[in-house]
């Protein structure tokens, strides 16, 4: 024994007669799996075989349906769907305002503001709070 067992697809090939695996004669475990799969297949197989005439009639019916044109009521369905999507997009879409372009303050003004913030003893975040109390004092 070489240590490997047959895969499920190899067992299915054996059951349907597509391949003949000699491994089944040597390995009791794989042979038991194959017999169990064959028993399950036999349980699921129809008791009355389907006749070739029935299958041929079924095939002719399918081909006849495929050759028929689509019903008229469905021909406009893609156009209606596209129009609906466009209408929804028109209702939902709201263009945003263009971004505000501020002029570049320049390096001198930037350095001046940074210097004044650095020299200030009070944090810049406290300024709005002071403005609240200044309004009440007025």
5-64 pLDDT, tens per residue?
A: 999 999 999 988 888 888 988 999 999 999 999 999 888 877 777 788 988 999 999 999
Instruction: For residue 91, tell me if it sits in a domain.
Output: no
18 closest CA partner among 10, 6, 8: 10
Model confidence band, residue 137 (pLDDT cutoffs 50, 70, 90) = low
CA distance 70 to 73: 8
- Higher-confidence residue of 96 and 73: namely 96
Instruction: For residue 24, tell me if it sits in a domain.
Output: yes
48 DSSP 8-state letter = S
Length of the chain: 138
The residue range of the domain holding 21 is: 1-69
- Whether the predicted pLDDT of 1 surpasses 50: no
So what's the pLDDT on residue 77? 81
Model confidence band, residue 3 (pLDDT cutoffs 50, 70, 90) = low
Instruction: For residue 61, tell me if it sits in a domain.
Output: yes
Q: How many domains does the chain have?
A: 1
Instruction: For residue 133, tell me if it sits in a domain.
Output: no
CA distance 86 to 21: 61
Instruction: For residue 53, tell me if it sits in a domain.
Output: yes
pTM over 0.75: no
Instruction: For residue 22, tell me if it sits in a domain.
Output: yes
- Higher-confidence residue of 119 and 7: namely 7
Contacts 24+ apart (CB under 8 A), 131-138: none
Instruction: For residue 56, tell me if it sits in a domain.
Output: yes
Q: What is the mean pLDDT of the chain?
A: 83
Instruction: For residue 95, tell me if it sits in a domain.
Output: no
């Amino acid at each position: 024994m070489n240590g490997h067992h047959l895969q499920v697809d190899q067992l299915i090939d054996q059951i349907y007669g597509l391949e003949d695996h000699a491994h089944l004669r040597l390995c009791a475990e794989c042979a038991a799996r194959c017999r169990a799969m064959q028993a399950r297949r036999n349980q699921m197989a129809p008791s009355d075989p389907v006749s070739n005439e029935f299958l041929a009639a079924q095939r002719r019916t399918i081909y006849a349906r495929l050759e028929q044109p689509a019903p008229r009521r469905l021909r406009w369905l893609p156009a209606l769907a596209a129009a609906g999507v466009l209408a929804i997009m028109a209702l939902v879409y709201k263009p945003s305002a263009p971004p505000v372009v501020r002029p570049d303050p320049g390096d001198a003004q930037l350095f001046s503001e940074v210097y004044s913030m650095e020299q200030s003893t009070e944090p810049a975040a406290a300024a709005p709070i002071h403005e609240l109390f200044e309004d009440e004092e007025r």
